[in-house]
Amino acid sequence: MFSSASAFAQEVNVYSARHYDTDVALYDTFTEQTGITVNLIEGGSDALIERIVNEGEFTPADLLITVDAGRLWRAQQRDVFQPINSQILESRVPAHLREANGHWFGLSKRARVIVHKKDHELAMPIRRYEDLSNAELSGLVCMRPSSNIYNLSLMASLIEAHGVEIAEEWATGVVANFGREPQGNDTSNITAVINGECGVTIANSYYLGRWLASEDESERARVDLLQVVFPNQDDRGTHVNISGAGVTKHAPNKEHAVRFLEYLTGEFAQRLFAEGNNEYPIVGDQTGAIAMLGEFNEDELRAELFGEQQSEAVRVYDRAGWR
C-alpha cells in the first residue's frame, strides 16, 4: 500500500514494466543504503502509462520504468514525465541514450543481433541488417510481427539511416524472404532457427545471454549451435535499445525519485543489470555471461528518434505487407 502522506514519507513509488527478480534485489539494496522504501507496482508498459494518465495529479507514481525508447517516447507524448536536471545522470548516461531535456534516461542496453545456425550454410554472408532483404535468403527469414516495439524501433533507425524509400525497399525485400508468417517472440524465432524451420532471425542479445548464463547445460548448448552477428560493424554500428525511466509529472516524492534514478545508474546497479539480467550496462564495461558474445560497435543514433519515427515505421511496414 502507498502511504496517504506520501509527500512526507521516506518512500518512492515505482511503476515498472520490467519483471525481473534482479530488479527486486536492486530495490532492496537501495532501501538498505538510504532508508527509503521502494513501493512497486508492476504491469505492462501501455497499461502503466494509461494508469498514470488516468490518475492525473493524484497519481502515487514517482517513477515509471519501462523497456524500449519507443515506449518511453509514448509516455512522454502522454505528458507522463517531468524534466529532471541532474548532473549525475547527465554525466553518467550518454547523450544518445537519454531524452535531450531530461524527461527520461536509459538504464540498460540490449543489442538487436542477427542469428543463424552455424551448420546451416547460407548462400551469402550476413553482416548487415540490410542483407536480410537479399533475394538469396528467400524463404529463410523468420521475424516477429511488425507491430512489435523492437521492430518499430529498428525500422525507425533504418529510416534515419537511409530515408523512407530505401527503408521500405528493405522491408519489402525481407517480406519476400519470409519462410513463415511473422509470429512469436525472440526466443521462439531463435528456436525456429535451431530447429531448421527457418535460416535466420533477429533477436535481442539478452535472450542469448540468459541461455549462456543458464545452469541448464542444454540451454548453454543452444548458443553453441548459433552464429551471432553484430550487424553493421563496418558502418553505423549495431542497433541498440534501452530500458529506461523517468520521474512522473506529479511525483509526490520527486527528490527520492531522482535519488533512486541516480542510484540505478551507479556501479552496483549497473553491474547487476549486466550480470543479473544479461543486459549491457549504460555505464562501465560489460561483465557476466553476455560478455562471451564479444565486443561490438553500437549505433549512436539518439534513442528518442525511435519514438519520433514510430508512426512512419508503422506505415512503412504496412505498405511492405509485413503484418
The pLDDT value given to residue 8: 53
Low-confidence ranges of the chain (pLDDT < 50): 1, 3-7
Closest alpha carbon to 108 in 258, 307, 283, 239: 283
Domain count for the chain: 2
216 with 70, same domain?
Answer: no
Q: Which residues contact 262 (CB under 8 A, 6 or more apart)?
A: 86, 88, 89
Residue 112 bridge partners (DSSP)? 204
Q: How far apart are CA 65 and CA 98, in angstroms?
A: 13
Burial of residue 52 (number of CB atoms within 10 Å: 0-12, 13-18, 19+): buried
Q: For residues 32 and 10, is the Cβ–Cβ distance under 8 A?
A: no
User: In 3-state terms, what secondary structure has residue 184?
Assistant: coil
Distance, CA of 100 to chain centre? 18
Cell of 202: 533477429
Long-range residue pairs from 2-10, CB within 8 A, at least 24 positions apart, any chain: 2/39, 2/60, 6/60, 6/252, 6/253, 7/252, 7/253, 9/37, 9/253, 10/35, 10/36, 10/37, 10/256
In this structure, is residue 301 part of a structural domain? no
Residue by residue, DSSP assigns 135-181 as: GGGTT-B----TTSHHHHHHHHHHHHHH-HHHHHHHHHHHHHTBSS-
Q: What is the dihedral of CA 41, 46, 47, 49, to 10 degrees?
A: 70
92 with 102, same domain?
Answer: yes
To which residue does cell 506529479 refer?
250
149 with 248, same domain?
Answer: no
83 with 135, same domain?
Answer: no
User: In 3-state terms, what secondary structure has residue 21?
Assistant: helix
102 with 226, same domain?
Answer: no
Distance, CA of 195 to chain centre? 26
Q: How far apart are CA 238 and CA 264, in angstroms?
A: 24
233 with 258, same domain?
Answer: no
In this structure, is residue 292 part of a structural domain? no
Q: For residues 6 and 38, is the Cβ–Cβ distance under 8 A?
A: no
81 with 147, same domain?
Answer: no
Q: For residues 146 and 323, is the Cβ–Cβ distance under 8 A?
A: yes
Range of the domain at 266: 6-109+242-286
* CATH code for position 41: 3.40.190.10
The pLDDT value given to residue 73: 96
163 with 251, same domain?
Answer: no
Which phi and psi angles does 168 have, rounded to 5°?
A: -70, -40
175 with 311, same domain?
Answer: yes
Q: How far apart are CA 214 and CA 211, in angstroms?
A: 5
Q: What is the dihedral of CA 193, 189, 128, 289, to 10 degrees?
A: -90
